């Protein structure tokens, strides 16, 4: 089976590619080829028991996607997106990639003629506004960012095209992924990883919100396991709504720092600065940080047991010494 | 103030134009010009106390919209859409008009620089799937038609662009409008008017569902009053979610026929045929027909008192003798 990852150069795309390379199979079948696309040519996982094609491709350009889809895929992981801060700074850029880019991927998937499994990364940013503070299944989505709005539009397209039998979609509203490896980026949630990652790597990082701010989060290992699980399930198990809230954990910034200190000692926390940023705060205060993901739990998606695990997994999987 | 109606040649667009011509004002100001656009050049209401420009324009063509928006509008009623049956028969046509056409209208409204009031006709077809049988405010929208999905995508764009201050949107999920004047069309709900309209006009009409089928409906007069009310309200009154369920009535086909017989005598009902249509039924059985529109009622939107009123209003406003 041929598998595609969009946003294949991102940290989730790279981790997913390495996991697929380690597994060699998906949905009970051997993977015959893995294709990774991103704006810049992604790194290929090595070693891999199957050929890997890594290509630069702008998903907002339907013509550029045509050669990628010249042969059909059995499974597509659609992770590519303009992140929250960038989509808020540039409305048209967010529309182009998050709405039109997603539609281009779904239309290309549809026209492959194989009704492929499409696993779509939506976001907890789908929630906000008039929704209650604690999110349960079945609430009217009222996102308060352009990123969140565009993610929900993708959910609607995924659901409708699944209903029509064009593709077999599964949409997961990801918690903030922490601890994300790599560099700080334009996501408003960037600090939710950098205050742990950058300080454990010997650098410093700023926390733009208070210690009492609650984060709805999940570790990269857990999110990758849930993306694989989403691809593995029978699509009908999702019911008429193929999109759901993934499990995660609610912890305050302070409790997460304490967990880091427990695992990694007191030094990293001493390198966190506390300069309030009202722009970041305005975005993240509009998100929800308490979610009761009953549908996902019933379908066998995994929750994190502790943030201390996330710290340990970061030290095992991802830490880079930057000085 | 300049006012635009998209779908200005449709029955709601025409009734709204006549109402605006009768009123002469909107939102407490005199209307200086009314512009009607539709695929075919719409009829202009006559007489009107202001100039009326009626133009053929395909909203899915952004370039064709540019001259329409050469001068900004204070109020835009966006009613144009590919109806449910047609959007189900041709997915790409529905996307082109209902998604891209709506986005074109909203982007043109945004770039006028006046933050215009935009009243958007969404639909009860937004509801379905995993939602409970009785719809209340705040439920996750799970439409089971492409038309409904595209309408909800428009709601998300309207909400996000309102939040950003690009425009001042208000989205109304219309019940089935009955009794709709004119001719049968490709809407799956077409029979919900034709079994009354066509039979009272001396013709016959088929009912593709049983007498016990419940319809969530509202009369054209009520819907027009609610569209005007939506334009008149302060946008902030809607809260972070600018889109809501309009009031309507739940009645069975049988009860509606009895109301027609009460007002118009027994002859029309005798001209209804009862040939079951599984395609129509599959669509309309996926809709919801019991709605508790508390938010709309609190904002002063109107409900219908009886279907007998709708029959009387049809006889006063719309009946055409076709034979």
pLDDT tens per residue, range A145-176: 999 999 999 999 999 999 999 999 999 999 99
CA distances in angstroms from A142 to A129, A153, A283, B48, B238, listed in the order given: 5, 11, 14, 40, 13
> Could you read off the pLDDT of B33-57 as tens digits, one per residue?
999 999 999 999 989 999 999 999 9
Structure tokens at A47: 């070693």
Please give the CATH topology (third level) of the domain spanning A191-216+249-290+304-317.
UDP-galactose 4-epimerase; domain 1 (3.90.25)
How many CB contacts within 8 angstroms connect chain A with chain B? 78
> Could you read off the pLDDT of B298-315 as tens digits, one per residue?
999 999 999 999 999 999
Chain B hits for A129, Cβ within 8 Å: 239-241
The verdict on a CB contact (< 8 Å) between B164 and A146 is yes
Mean pLDDT of B90-98: 98
Report the relative pairing of strands A272-273 and B176-177 from DSSP bridges. Answer: unpaired
pLDDT mean across residues, chain A: 96
Cis amide leading into B179 (omega within 30): yes
Which one from B73, B77, B120, B147 is the annotated catalytic residue? B147
Chain A hits for B91, Cβ within 8 Å: 161, 164, 166
Strand positions, DSSP E, chain A? 2-6, 25-26, 29-30, 33-38, 52-56, 75-78, 117-123, 134-135, 168-174, 176-177, 205-206, 214-218, 243-245, 249-252, 272-273, 290-291
pLDDT value, residue B322: 52
Question: Which of B95, B109, B149 is the best mutation test for A, with the most CBs of A within 10 A?
Answer: B149
Report the residue of chain B nearest A161, measured CA to CA: B146
Mean pLDDT of B204-216: 96
> Could you read off the pLDDT of A247-287 as tens digits, one per residue?
999 999 999 999 999 999 999 999 999 999 998 898 888 88
Nearest to B130 among A142, A157, A241 (CB): A241
The verdict on a CB contact (< 8 Å) between A130 and B159 is no
Report the residue of chain B nearest A149, measured CA to CA: B156
Tell me the ipTM for this assembly. Answer: 0.96
Instruction: Evaluate if residue A322 carries a pLDDT over 90.
Output: no
SS3 state at B170: strand
pLDDT value, residue B4: 98
Report the residue of chain B nearest A141, measured CA to CA: B140
SS3 state at B312: helix
- Residue B120's beta-bridge partner residues? B78, B171
Which CATH number does A2-175+218-245 carry?
Answer: 3.40.50.720
Residue range(s) in chain A whose domain bears CATH number 3.90.25.10 = 191-216+249-290+304-317
Nearest to A149 among B130, B131, B160 (CB): B160
Which CATH number does B2-177+218-245 carry?
Answer: 3.40.50.720
Can B120 be counted among the known catalytic residues? no
pLDDT value, residue A321: 64
pLDDT value, residue B321: 64
Residue range(s) in chain A whose domain bears CATH number 3.40.50.720 = 2-175+218-245
Which one from A11, A73, A120, A147 is the annotated catalytic residue? A147
Instruction: Evaluate if residue A323 carries a pLDDT over 50.
Output: no
Distance CA A126, CA A40 (A): 27
Is the model's pTM score more than 0.90? yes
> Could you read off the pLDDT of A99-118 as tens digits, one per residue?
999 999 999 999 998 999 99
Which of A256-265, B214-223, B278-287 has the lowest average pLDDT?
A: B278-287
pLDDT value, residue A186: 81
Q: Give residue for tokens 């029309």.
A: B268
pLDDT value, residue A198: 97
pLDDT value, residue B231: 98
Report the residue of chain B nearest A138, measured CA to CA: B140
């Amino acid at each position: 089976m041929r598998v595609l990852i969009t946003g294949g150069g991102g940290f989730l795309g790279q981790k997913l590619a390495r996991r697929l390379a380690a597994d060699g199979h998906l949905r009970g079948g051997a993977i015959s080829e893995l294709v990774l696309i991103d704006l810049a040519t992604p790194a290929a996982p090595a070693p891999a028991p199957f050929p890997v094609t890594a290509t630069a491709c702008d998903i907002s350009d339907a013509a550029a996607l045509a050669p990628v889809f010249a042969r059909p895929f059995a499974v597509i992981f659609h992770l590519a997106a303009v992140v929250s801060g960038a989509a808020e700074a540039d409305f048209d850029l967010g529309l182009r990639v998050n709405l039109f880019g997603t539609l281009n991927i779904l239309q290309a998937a549809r026209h492959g003629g194989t009704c492929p499994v499409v696993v779509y990364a939506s976001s907890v940013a789908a929630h906000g506004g008039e929704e209650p503070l604690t999110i349960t299944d079945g609430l009217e989505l009222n996102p308060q960012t352009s990123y969140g709005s565009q993610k929900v539009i993708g959910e609607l397209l995924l659901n409708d095209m699944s209903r029509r039998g064009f593709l077999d979609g599964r949409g997961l509203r990801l918690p903030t992924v922490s601890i994300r490896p790599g560099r700080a980026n334009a996501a408003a949630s960037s600090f939710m990883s950098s205050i742990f990652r950058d300080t454990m790597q010997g650098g410093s990082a700023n926390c733009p919100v208070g210690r009492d701010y609650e984060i709805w989060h999940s570790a990269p290992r857990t999110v990758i396991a849930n993306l694989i699980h989403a691809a593995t399930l029978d699509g009908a198990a999702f019911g008429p709504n193929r999109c759901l809230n993934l499990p995660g954990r609610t912890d305050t910034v302070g409790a997460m720092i304490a967990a880091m200190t427990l695992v990694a000692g007191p030094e990293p926390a001493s390198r966190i600065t506390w300069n309030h940023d009202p722009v970041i705060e305005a975005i993240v205060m509009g998100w929800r940080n308490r979610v009761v993901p009953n549908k996902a739990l019933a379908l066998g998606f995994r929750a994190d047991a502790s943030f201390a695990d996330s710290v340990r997994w970061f030290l095992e999987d991802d830490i880079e010494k930057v000085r």
